[in-house]
Amino acid sequence: MAYYSDKLMDHFLHPRNFGEMKDPDGVGEVGNVVCGDVMKLFIKVKDNVITKASFMTFGCAAAIATSSILTEMVVGKTIDEALKISNQKVAKEIGGLPPQKIHCSVLAEQALKAAIEDYKKRKK
Partner 1 sequence: MKKDKKIIYLDNAATTPLDPRVLKAMIPYLKENFGNASSIHFLGQKAKEALERSRETIANFIGAKKEEIIFTSGGTESNNLAIKGVAFANEKFGKHLITSVIEHHAVLEPCHWLEKRGFKVSYLKVDKNGLVNLDDLEKTITDETILISIMHANNEIGTIEPIIEIGNLVKRVREKRRERKIETPIYFHTDAVQTFGHLPINVNELGVDLLSASAHKLYGPKGVGLLYLRQGVKIEPLLHGGAHERNFRSGTENVAGIVGFAQAVEIAKKEMNREYKKQIELRDKLIKGIFEKIKNVTLNGHPRLRLPNNVNISIEGIEGEAMVLTLNEYRIAASTGSACSSKSLKPSHVLMAIGLSEELAHSSLRLTLSRFTKNKEINYFLKVLPQVVEKLRKISPFYKK
The answer to whether 11 contacts partner 1 (rule: CB under 8 A) is no
Residues 6+ apart with CB under 8 A from 7: 65, 69, 94, 95
Which of 3, 35, 72, 86 touches partner 1 by CB under 8 A?
Answer: 35
Q: Is 59 left (phi over 0), alpha (psi -120 to 50) or beta?
A: left
- Residue 58 or 110 having the CB closest to partner 1: 58
SS3 59: coil
Active site residues: 35, 104
Site residues, partner 1 (CB under 8 A): 1, 9, 12-13, 15, 18-19, 29, 33-38, 40, 55-64, 100
